[in-house]
Structure 1
Amino acid sequence: MALEFPQIDPIIFTVGPLSVRWYGLMYLIGFAFAMWWANRQAAKPNSGWTKEEVGDLLFYGMLGVILGGRIGYVLFYQFSYFLENPLYLFRIDQGGMSFHGGTLGVITAICIFAWSRKKQLLEVGDFVAPLVPVGLLAGRIGNFINGELWGRTTDVPWAMVFPTGGPLARHPSQLYEAFFEGLVLFIILYLFTKKSRPAGSVGGLFLLGYGVFRFGIEYFREPDAHLGLFGGFISMGQILSLPMVIGGLGLIIWAYKKPQPTVASKA
C-alpha cells in the first residue's frame, strides 16, 4: 500500500500565452520572505543596515540564485549534454536548477555587494544566511507539486507512487528536504542568532547545517543514474555537500578562535 500522490496541476492559471506555475510561485514566496525578514532585521536599532542596502543586496542575491542555479545545474548534472548542445544552458523552459550552483552564485553576489558597499564580507554573509531556508522549503514544495526529484523505492507507510517515477512506491524526499533543509534549518539559525555571535559563525552554521542535512537525505533521494560513484553509494549531491560541511565547520571554528568584535543579534 502506498499513499496516493496528490494530482495538482503544475500550472495555477493561464492568461493568454502566460502560464503561472506553482514552482515559480514558490520562488516568489522565498524572495518575498527574504525581503520581509531582511527589512525586519534592518529596522532594528543599530542594525548597520538601511532599506536601500537590503534592496540592493536582495537584487544581487536574486541574480546569483538564478544564474548560479542554472549554470550549476548544467555543469554539475548535465555537463556531457551541454558539451554536445551548448545552447542547452539557455533552455530554461526545460527546467533544471542546482542549489549548490545557486549557493556559489549567492556567495559571488555577496562578495560583489560587500566590496561595492565597503561592508565586511562575513557580516553580509551572516545577514543573508537566515534568509535562505524558507526559500528552500518553498522550492522543495514546488518540486513535490511538480512530481519531480522523488526518492528511492521503499515500503514505508508514507511512500508514494509518483506519476513520473514508475509503478513503485518511493520516499517523498522533496518533503524531507523541505522539512530539514527548510523549516528545521531556519529554526536552528533563528535560535542561534538570538544572541550576538562572532562574525562568520552564522554563515558557517548555515553551510554546515545544509550540508549535513542534504548529505543524509541523499540516501533517501533517487540519485542521477549517470552520476553515482562507488556503485551509486555516493551521489553528486553528496559530493557537492561535502565542501559545505567542511567549509562551514572550518568557518565556525575560525570565527570562535579569531579575536574579533561580535555582530549584533539578528533575531
Structure 2
Amino acid sequence: MYPVLLELGPITVHSYGFMIAMGFVAVILGLRRRAHEINMEPNETLDIALLAMIFGIIGARLYYVLVYDFSHYVKNPLDVFALNQGGLVFHGGLILGTIAVIIYLKAKKVSVVETADLAALLIPVAYAFGRVGCFLNGCCHGIETDSFIGVSFTEFGTTAYHPAQLYSVVLGLGIYGFILWQRPRRTFGGQAFLSYLIIYNAGRFFIEFLRVNPTYFGLVTGAQITSIILIGIACGLYPFIRRKFAYEEDEAVEEIDESSTA
C-alpha cells in the first residue's frame, strides 16, 4: 500500500485522489485533441468534461450510499459528504455522468452518438487510472488467495489477496485498445459506446467473483446486478441504434482512410 504520494507541510497528496485526477486530465486532453471529430472547438469540450466529472462523482457517491451502506448513512446523514473516507462506485458515476452529458449535448445540438463513441475511447483510460489509485490505496482488493499473483496489503498483515484492482486496470486498457481498433471500422454512430458497455460490464461481472463485496441472495453483488442490467440495455438498443445511425458506405471507408493516415 502507498496511500500517500507526497507530504509538504500541511499539504498531503493521496494516491487515490491523485490518480482519479489524472484520469480526468486524460479525458480532458483526449477531448481537446479529438474535438474536431464531434464538430466542437477544443475549449468547448471542457464543459463536457466538467459535467462528466461533477455528476460522475455525485452518481458514484449516491450509488455507494444507496447500495452498499444505506443504513449507516440514514443514521449519519452528514457522512454522505465525507468523501475522504472513500465510497465511490464507478457504475453510479457512469450512469449519472452519462445522463448529464446527454442532456447537455441535446441542448447544444451536438451529436450524442458520436460523442458517446469518443467517450468510449476515453473512459477506459480514466477507469484504469482510478483502479491504479485503488491499488495504491489498498481498497477494492479481491478475496484471499494462495496463488503466486496474490498481493499482501500492509494494513491486512501477511494475508495475500487477488489484486482485483489490477485486473480492472487490464480490463480498462484492453477495452481502450479494442475501441481504438474498432473506432475507424464502425458501421453506425454509437457502436463503440455500446461495445464498451457490453465488454466492460461483462468483464466487471466476472471480476466481481474475485472481489470482496456484499452479495444479494448469497449469489451476486450489486455491481453484478447493475452489469447485467446495462448489458441488457446495450444489447436491446443495439439493433435500434444501428438502424437509426447507420453510416453510408463511403463514410465508413473515409473513416478508415483517415485513421490509416493519422
- CA change 1:256–1:116 in 2 (3 A) is closer
Alpha carbons 1:160, 1:170 under 8 Å: kept: yes
1:214, 1:259 → 2: CA distance?
28
Match of 1:236 in 2: 222
Q: Secondary structure at the match of 2:160?
A: coil
Q: Is it true that 1:39 corresponds to 2:32 in the alignment?
A: yes
Alpha carbons 1:148, 1:164 under 8 Å: kept: no
Post-superposition CA distance 1:35-73 (Å, at most 9, x none): 2222221246xx412113211111111112221111221
1:261, distance to aligned residue in structure 2 (A): 4.0
Q: Is it true that 1:203 corresponds to 2:196 in the alignment?
A: no
1:128, distance to aligned residue in structure 2 (A): 1.7
Match of 1:135 in 2: 126
Paired AA for residue 18 in structure 2? L
Greater mean deviation of Cα atoms: 209-218 or 103-112: 103-112
Post-superposition CA distance 1:102-153 (Å, at most 9, x none): 0122112212211221223323322222110011111111111111111112
- CA change 1:259–1:65 in 2 (3 A) is closer
Q: TM-score if structure 2 supplies the norm length?
A: 0.88
Alpha carbons 2:198, 2:230 under 8 Å: kept: yes
1:168, distance to aligned residue in structure 2 (A): 3.0
Q: Secondary structure at the match of 2:97?
A: helix
1:102, 1:221 → 2: CA distance?
19
Match of 2:17 in 1: 24
Alpha carbons 2:190, 2:245 under 8 Å: kept: no
Report the structure, 1 or 2, having the larger helix content: 2
Q: Which residue of 244, 251, 256 maps to 2:237?
A: 251
Alpha carbons 1:73, 1:97 under 8 Å: kept: yes
Match of 2:96 in 1: 105
Paired AA for residue 4 in structure 2? I
2:68, 2:216 → 1: CA distance?
13
1:251, distance to aligned residue in structure 2 (A): 2.7
Identity across the alignment (%)? 31
Question: May I ask how many residue pairs the two structures share in their alignment?
Answer: 253
Q: Secondary structure at the match of 1:207?
A: helix
Greater mean deviation of Cα atoms: 119-128 or 154-163: 119-128
2:202, 2:157 → 1: CA distance?
29
1:155, distance to aligned residue in structure 2 (A): 1.8
Match of 1:194 in 2: 184
Gaps of 5+ in 1: 1-6
